[in-house]
Structure 1
Amino acid sequence: MEIIIHPTYFPNIAHFVAIVQAESVAFEVFDNFSKQTYRNRTYIYGANGKLSLNIPVVFSQKNRQKYSEVEIFNADRWQLNHWKSLESSYRTSPFFQFYEDELRHLFFEDTTYLMDFNMKCFEVICECLQMEIDYSETASFQKEILGKSDLRYLVNSKKAPVFNFDNYTQVFESKHGFIPNLSILDLLFNEGPNALNYLESQTLIAE
């Protein structure tokens, strides 16, 4: 299966199931940016349940702007806040300490453009999963895609489809139950080296 998909902030499990099982991956890099998507947000499992981590951006809805041109608003301490949220949520998980050194630097160095940062995060996660992904980038925006499975709809966080993925053990599951399709970080910190086997075994079929 050849797919086209958006680069997102620490992609959710559905994104990675599609990527891992694809024969080839093309990232959409010529689309317009819009809010309320996974381009600048991801969800983790916090002590009080599902927790959204949002990257602040310099963006105005009045003027169309390419995703690749959207800058991160680095004036506040969003990176430190995100890292503290990950530490508090996953420090008791089986594999947080195993991967934290590989991930920590992402939250302590500035990156100007959102898409560049998302691609950097993606590449680090691939290293953590010990997987090699041969991906390409689109050369222009095409509304209709021929010859590839168009999975760009997965970027929408408000109208996200529900997938029947298998449960795995989560840190706060005893309090709030299993929460599906969170950030790949949730799977990585809880399943460690078995995360790749999990992704390969799932089926991307919406309920």
Structure 2
Amino acid sequence: MILIFLGPPGAGKGTQAKLISEKFDIPQLSTGDMLRSAVAAQTEIGKKAKAVMDAGNLVSDEIVAGIVSDRIEEDDCKPGFLLDGFPRTVVQAEMLDKILAGKGRQLDVVLELKVDEEALVERLNTRIEETKAAGLEVRADDNEETFRHRLGVYHEQTAPLIPYYQDKGLLKEVNGMASIDAVSAEIDGIFKELEKA
């Protein structure tokens, strides 16, 4: 099972990814984690990434794709894997298609968590109020302005992946506003349909 999650920040992708990873015993591959471990392992691509990051620049699509390509060769990815934070753009999605094709593998499904973004903003504001009320410190990036900026970036860069995967017949929509258990059950239903196909 090879799959990707799409959805704006705060949609619950991380929560569901963790549940699927545990249920199917497949790794959840986060771009950030893969970058850090490639740098720590001093792989060829890791060294390139470190040089770019040390210079204070963003790592290029080629480097990220190279790190993904190396990581999915590892044994724990044989039964499948879940990509978290990659691809973020259509260019990266095209790179992923080439990487998988080159390894004789293919994507099984792309799950889009559909959410009401204004409700997400309300959820965030409630969380901030509850954190303050509990006398705890609110994370610096936990504010409405930052969150709306992240939503804007998502719409500009990542949302174009929705029609891209829709055209390939890989996109399945999931109601991300339901409870964690209900979302999980809906995803299980999609997996059962895929097994029948």
Decide: shared fold, TM above 0.5. Answer: no
Task: Work out which structure has the larger RCO, using CA pairs closer than 8 Å and 6 or more positions apart in sequence.
Answer: 1
TM-score, length-scaled by structure 1: 0.31
**Bigger helix fraction:** 2
